[in-house]
Amino acid sequence: DFIETGLYTGMRVSEIRNLSWDDIDFVGMKIRVRNTESFTTKSKKDRTVPLHPKLAELLTLRAQVDHSPFVFLRNDMKQVDTGTANKKFKEYCDVAGLDSRFHFHTLRHTFASHMAMSGVSLYFIQKILGHRSIETTARTYAHLQPDPLLSAVKGLKY
């Protein structure tokens, strides 16, 4: 569930480990990534991430049996450690025969890359990922977008 949350949101491992049930709006289909007394986002700004329907389904099932404040806790009811999450992800990659260079942050890149390849604007990708500048987003994902000039011309209706 932790890994799927990364894949469907592009959230950083530290953001997922600090995700509380209060941050998930199942009606509005969004997740609030926010600063708290014990956690600060990389950009130091709150943001909203759309809640993918498949992730909403998964988290709804989880919410029915989980009554703790955080979405993801260890068996001893403490927060998931980022190092442990990264290590577990690597173990799953090894078992699946995936490239050993993959790490948890790869899920963030996968999420953003697929959005870019689907034609989502770099501006929206920037906002969802929480990048401070569009240049950061463009430098990493612009080459993956469909040819915007061709799309612009195809959009002409005369």
101 tagged catalytic: no
What's the CA gap between 23 and 13, in Å, rounded?
16
Q: What is the pLDDT of residue 24?
A: 97
42 tagged catalytic: yes
Cβ-in-10-Å burial (0-12, 13-18, 19+) of 26 comes to: middle
Q: What is the pLDDT of residue 99?
A: 92
What's the CA gap between 115 and 145, in Å, rounded?
8
Q: What is the pLDDT of residue 157?
A: 84
Return averaged pLDDT per consecutive 10 residues of the chain, 158 residues in all: 96 96 97 94 94 97 85 89 93 94 96 95 96 94 85 81
What's the CA angle centered on 38, arms 35 and 40, to 5 degrees? Answer: 35
Q: What is the pLDDT of residue 56?
A: 97
Q: What is the pLDDT of residue 16?
A: 97
Q: And the tokens for 112?
A: 């953003």
Q: What is the pLDDT of residue 128?
A: 97
Q: What is the pLDDT of residue 151?
A: 74
Q: What is the pLDDT of residue 32?
A: 97
Q: Which of 54, 74, 105, 139 is catalytic?
A: 105
Distances (CA, A) of 130 to 50, 61, 64, 76, 152: 12, 27, 30, 31, 27
131 tagged catalytic: yes
